[in-house]
Amino acid sequence: MRTSSRKPATVGRLEKRKRERRLRIYDAAVELFRSQGFERTTVSQIAEAADVVPATFFNHFQSKNAVLRQMTTEVLGVIELMLKDEFESVASTRERLTGFVSSAAEQIAETRGLARDVLLELVRTESEPGKPPPYIERIHEPFAALLRDGQQRGDVRRDEDAAFLAEMVVGILNAAITNWLANPDYPIEQRLRQAARFAWEAICAQPAPREA
C-alpha cells in the first residue's frame, strides 16, 4: 500500500520537473530568437541559456523550428485576443478596425525580426496548395461580425454582404503582410496603417447625395 501511494506523487513530481524544464528551454529560445534572430540562434546556444545539455533540448523539441512552431500557436492566440478586445468595444466600426491594425503594427514593431520569422513559419507549416493560410480563415469571421455590426449601425455599406467585405479587408491587410514576408525591408508598420485606411474607404457607407 505504501509503495502504491507514493508512486503517483513521484510521477507527478517528475512530470512537473519535465514541464518546468521544457518551459525553461522554450523561454531561453524565445529570448535568443528575439535578441539575435532565429537563423543566428543554434540549439547549443539555447541549451546553454537554459542550463541543459543539447540532448535534453532534443528530448523536448525535435528542432529549433519546433520551438518556432509552438510560438505560432501563441501568436494566433494573441491575434484572436486583440480582435476580441478591439471588436467588442463600443467605438465606431472605423475606430475598431484601425485600432486592431494599429495594435498589430505596434506588436510587430516591438519584435520585428521575430514576428516575421513566426509568420513565415506559420505560412510554411499550415498552408495547403490552393488555400489561404489558416490564420486568414481564423480572423475572417471576427471581421465579418464587425462589419455586420457596422452595417446595422449604418457606417458600413450595405450593398455587399458582410462576409464578402470582410474577405476584401482581410485580403488588403494580408497583401501588406505578404509583401513583408517577401522583403524584410518592406515598411510593414506604415503599410498596415495605410492598408487599414484604404480598406475603410472601400467599405464605409457613403453619405446620401443631397437633393438639388
Residue 76: CATH number of its domain: 1.10.357.10
Cα torsion through 75, 79, 84, 86, rounded to 10: 140
pLDDT of residue 204: 95
pLDDT digits (tens, 9 = 90+) for 3-15: 455 566 666 788 8
- Residues 176, 105: one domain? yes
Residue 110 is part of which domain span?
64-203
What SS3 state is found at 205? Answer: coil
Q: Which of 8-17, 46-55, 156-165 has the lowest mean pLDDT?
A: 8-17
- Residues 38, 137: one domain? no
pLDDT of residue 70: 87
User: Last residue of some domain: 34, 60, 86?
Assistant: 60
- Residues 79, 170: one domain? yes
| pLDDT at residue 29 is higher than 90 | yes
Report if residue 212 sits inside a domain: no
What secondary structure does DSSP assign to 9-63, as a single string? HHHHHHHHHHHHHHHHHHHHHHHHHHHH-TTT--HHHHHHHTTS-HHHHHHH-SS
Report if residue 111 sits inside a domain: yes
Distance in angstroms (rounded) separating the CA atoms of residues 105 and 3 = 57
- Residues 6, 72: one domain? no
- Residues 7, 54: one domain? yes
In this structure, is the dihedral angle defined by the CA atoms of residues 120, 122, 123 and 129, taken in order, positive or negative? positive
